[in-house]
Amino acid sequence: MQLTALPVNDCVYIINSRLTKCDTEKPADNIEYNLLYEEWASYSVFYKYQPIGLIRKYFGEKVGLYFAWLGVYTQMLIPAAIVGVIVFLYGCATVDDNIPSMEICDPRNNITMCPLCDRACSYWKLVTACGTARASHLFDNPATVFFSIFMALWAVLFMEHWKRRQMRLNYVWDLTGFGEEEEDHNRAEYEFRVMQKTMRQEHSTPKVKLITVTFAIVFGVILYRISIRAALHMSTYPAARSNIRATVKTTAAIINLIIIIVLDEIYAAIARWLTTLEVPKTDKSFEERLIFKTFILKFVNAFTPIVYLAFFRGRLVGRPGNYLYVVGSYRMEECAHAGCLMELCIQLCITMLGKQLIQNNLFEIGIPKLKKLLRRRKSDLDSKQEEELNKTLQRHEKDHILGPFVGLSPEYMEMIIQFGMVTLFVASFPLAPLFALLNNIIEIRLDAKKFVMELRRPIAAKAKDIGRYSSLFPQAFVISFTSDFIPRLVYQYMYSPDGTMHGFVNHTLSYFNVTDFQKGTDPLQPMHLGYKVDMCRYKDYREPPWSSTPYELSKEFWAVLAARLAFVIVFQNVVMLMSDFVDWLIPDIPKDISLQMHKEKILMVELFMKEEQGKSGLLIFTILLYKYTIYNIKCCRDNLFL
Amino acid sequence: MQLTALPVNDCVYIINSRLTKCDTEKPADNIEYNLLYEEWASYSVFYKYQPIGLIRKYFGEKVGLYFAWLGVYTQMLIPAAIVGVIVFLYGCATVDDNIPSMEICDPRNNITMCPLCDRACSYWKLVTACGTARASHLFDNPATVFFSIFMALWAVLFMEHWKRRQMRLNYVWDLTGFGEEEEDHNRAEYEFRVMQKTMRQEHSTPKVKLITVTFAIVFGVILYRISIRAALHMSTYPAARSNIRATVKTTAAIINLIIIIVLDEIYAAIARWLTTLEVPKTDKSFEERLIFKTFILKFVNAFTPIVYLAFFRGRLVGRPGNYLYVVGSYRMEECAHAGCLMELCIQLCITMLGKQLIQNNLFEIGIPKLKKLLRRRKSDLDSKQEEELNKTLQRHEKDHILGPFVGLSPEYMEMIIQFGMVTLFVASFPLAPLFALLNNIIEIRLDAKKFVMELRRPIAAKAKDIGRYSSLFPQAFVISFTSDFIPRLVYQYMYSPDGTMHGFVNHTLSYFNVTDFQKGTDPLQPMHLGYKVDMCRYKDYREPPWSSTPYELSKEFWAVLAARLAFVIVFQNVVMLMSDFVDWLIPDIPKDISLQMHKEKILMVELFMKEEQGKSGLLIFTILLYKYTIYNIKCCRDNLFL
A612 touches chain B (CB under 8 A): yes
Q: Which amino acid belongs to residue A257?
A: L
Nearest-CA neighbor of A214 among A289, A302, A312?
A: A289
- A65 against B211, higher pLDDT: A65
Looking at residue B239, its pLDDT comes to 43
Residues in chain B within 8 Å Cβ distance of A594: 180
Q: What is the pLDDT of residue A13?
A: 34
Q: Would you call A15 and B605 a contact, using CB atoms and an 8 Å cutoff? A: yes
The percent of residues in chain B predicted with pLDDT above 70, rounded, is 62
| Beta strand B509-513 pairing with B535-539 | antiparallel
Lowest mean pLDDT among A449-458, B233-242, B548-557: B233-242
Residue B90: pLDDT over 80: yes
Distance between CA atoms of residues B364 and B368, nearest Å: 7
- Residues in A closer than 8 angstroms to B598, CB to CB, are 180-181
**Mutation target vs B (from A611, A613, A620; most B CBs, 10 A cutoff):** A611
User: Residue type for B187, please?
Assistant: R
Q: Cβ neighbours of residue A122 under 8 Å, at least 6 residues apart?
A: A115, A523, A524, A525, A526, A528, A529
Specify if A30 maps to a domain: yes
Distance between CA atoms of residues A246 and A130, nearest Å? 12
Chain B touched by A549 (CB under 8 Å):
no
Report the chain B residue with the minimal C-alpha distance to residue A20: B609
Strand A509-513 relative to strand B330-331, pairing: unpaired
Is A49 contained in some domain? Answer: yes
* Domain count along chain A: 2
Say what the pLDDT of residue A629 is. Answer: 43
**Of B358, B352, B338, B331, which is closest to residue B429 (Cα–Cα)?**
B352
**What residues of A are in contact with residue B559 (Cβ under 8 Å)?**
558
A603 interaction partners in chain B (CB closer than 8 Å) = none
- Cα nearest neighbour of A542 on chain B: B555
Closest CA relative to residue A301, chosen from A218, A367, A192, A359: A218
pLDDT at site A382: 56
Structural domain ending residue among the three candidates B45, B60, B75: B60
Nearest by CB to residue B573, choosing from A473, A559, A561, is A473
Q: Taking CB atoms and an 8 Å cutoff, what residues of chain B touch A3?
A: 611-612
A chain contacts of residue B565, beta-carbon cutoff 8 Å: 562, 565-566, 568-569
Say what the ipTM of the complex is. Answer: 0.70
**Is the residue at B17 inside a domain?**
yes
pLDDT, one tens digit per residue, over B35-61 is 666 777 666 766 777 777 777 777 777
Residue finishing a domain among B44, B60, B76? B60
Note whether A611 contacts B3, CB cutoff 8 Å.
yes
pLDDT score for B29: 55
Cα separation, B552 vs B550, whole angstroms: 6
Cβ of A601 within 8 Å of Cβ of B181? The answer is yes
In a domain, B39, yes or no: yes
Low-confidence residues in chain A, pLDDT < 50 = 1-28, 176-184, 201-205, 235-243, 395-405, 456-469, 625, 627-642
B589 in A contact zone (CB under 8 Å): no
Task: Give tens-digit pLDDT for B317-371.
Answer: 778 877 877 666 667 667 666 667 777 888 888 888 877 767 666 666 677 678 7
Query: Within a 10 A sphere around the Cβ of A592, how many other Cβ atoms?
Result: 11
- A chain contacts of residue B12, beta-carbon cutoff 8 Å: 608
From B560's Cα to the closest Cα of chain A, the distance in A is 9
User: pTM for this structure?
Assistant: 0.73
Residue A634 exposed, middle or buried by CB count within 10 Å (0-12, 13-18, 19+): exposed
Alpha carbons within 13 angstroms on the beta-carbon side of residue B508 total 23
Chain A: residue whose CA lies nearest to B573 = A473
Position B193 scores a pLDDT of 61
pLDDT score recorded for residue A563? 93
A–B interface: beta-carbon pairs under 8 A? 86
pLDDT tens digits along B188-208: 666 666 565 555 544 444 556
B280: pLDDT strictly greater than 50? yes
Q: Which 3-state string (H, E, C) describes B2-70?
A: CHHHCCHHHHHHCCCCCCCCCCCCCCCHHHHHHHHHHHCCCHHHCCCCCCHHHHHHHHCHHHHHHHHHH
- Flag whether residue A181 sits within 8 Å of chain B, measured between CB atoms: yes
Q: Hey, are the CB atoms on A601 and B559 less than 8 Å from each other?
A: no
Determine which of A175, A469, A570, A612 to mutate to test the interface with B (most B C-beta atoms within 10 Å): A612
- For residue A621, what is the nearest residue in chain B, using CA coordinates? B611
Residue B84's pLDDT band, with cuts at 50, 70 and 90, is very high
Chain A partners within 8 Å of B180 (Cβ): 594, 598
Neighbours of B478 (CB within 10 A): 26
Residue B618 lies in a domain: yes
The residue among B184, B611, B620, B628 with the most chain A CBs within 10 A of its CB, best to mutate, is B611
The more confidently predicted of residues B278 and B499 is B499
Does position B74 have pLDDT exceeding 60, yes or no? yes
| pLDDT reported for residue B326 | 66
Interface contact flag, A3 B605, Cβ < 8 Å: no
Interface test mutation site (partner B, options A561, A591, A606, max chain B beta carbons within 10 A): A561
| Angstrom distance (rounded) from CA A59 to CA A36 | 11
- Does residue B633 belong to any structural domain of this protein? yes
Q: What is the mean pLDDT of chain B?
A: 71
In a domain, B20, yes or no: yes
The per-residue pLDDT for B79 is 93
* Phi, then psi, of A533 in degrees rounded to 5: -100, 125
Confidence of residue B638 (pLDDT cuts 50, 70, 90): very low
Q: Is residue A252 part of a domain?
A: no
Instruction: Give the length of chain A.
Output: 642
Alpha helices (H) in B478-615, listed in sequence order? 485-490, 504-508, 555-585, 591-610
pLDDT at B191: 62
B568 Cβ under 8 Å from any chain A Cβ? yes
Look at B1 and A177 and tell me if their CB atoms are within 8 Å.
no
Contact A617 B616 (CB under 8 A): yes
Domain that holds residue B20: 12-60
Q: Which residue among A16, A562, A573 sits closest to B558, beta carbon to beta carbon?
A: A562
